[in-house]
Amino acid sequence: MPKRQVKPKPVKVPERDVVQAVLRSFHGETDGVWLFRQNTGAFTIRKRGYTDQFVRFGTPGQSDVTGIVAAATCSVCGMVREGVRIELECKARHGKLTPGQERWLESMAKAGGITGVIRPEPSEYDPTGLMPKYLRRRILALIGRPCRKCRNESERLDRGGTGENHRENGGGSQGIRPKRHDAE
């Protein structure tokens, strides 16, 4: 009788391990990306004889990891954006974003930042989904996404709208002067 192959159970990875793996994959300056841990929370200071003091640090909903990308190139129009903020929310494999986290990522993306949710993606070569070289590839892929104007334009066209194609005019608004119409 042939032996039945047993599939290994997926490894449960807590969110704190995902955060640590992301920070390790870009320890120091790597590929022009600087990442830092961003803590949020609250606690109460209790002192005998005094009233309790409530202390909140960070903004509710802000991402776990923040940083700066030296230069990000749009994969559609080729425009280079320098000094772009990156916000990464780290989650366990089946973790869900809170409404505050969704709002935070959305507001950062609208402001021109690079945002993303990082989850462990186990594979044959990486059972935990946290190997630095694979995480680094996934984060660098986020950096190469289309810029905000290209994304907005494609969304407008998907909805059936029309509009001036900013790629035909040499890219986005950064570094491009509007045409002058001098009276003659």
pLDDT in tens, 84-103: 899 999 998 888 999 999 99
CA–CA–CA angle 107, 112, 116 (5° rounding): 65
Mean pLDDT along residues 116-143: 80
Q: Which residue has the higher pLDDT, 2 or 102?
A: 102
Mean pLDDT along residues 125-154: 77
Q: Which helix (H) or strand (E) holds 143?
A: helix 132-143
- Tell me how far CA of residue 109 lies from CA of 77, 115, 116, 146, in angstroms: 18, 6, 9, 12
pLDDT of residue 182: 43
Side-chain-facing half-sphere of 158: CA atoms under 13 Å = 6
Sequence-ordered strand ranges (E) for 107-180: 114-118
What's the DSSP call for residue 43? E
CA distance 150 to 155: 9
Q: How does strand 53-57 pair with strand 65-73?
A: unpaired
Residue in 89, 108, 104, 90 with CA at minimum distance from that of residue 148: 108
Highest-confidence segment of 23-27, 57-61, 158-162: 57-61
Kindly report the average pLDDT of the chain as a whole number: 78
pLDDT of residue 63: 92
Residue in 79, 91, 65 with CA at minimum distance from that of residue 147: 79
Pick the CATH number of 15-39+54-158 from 3.60.15.10, 3.40.1350.10, 3.40.50.2300, 2.60.200.20: 3.40.1350.10
Single pTM value for the model: 0.69
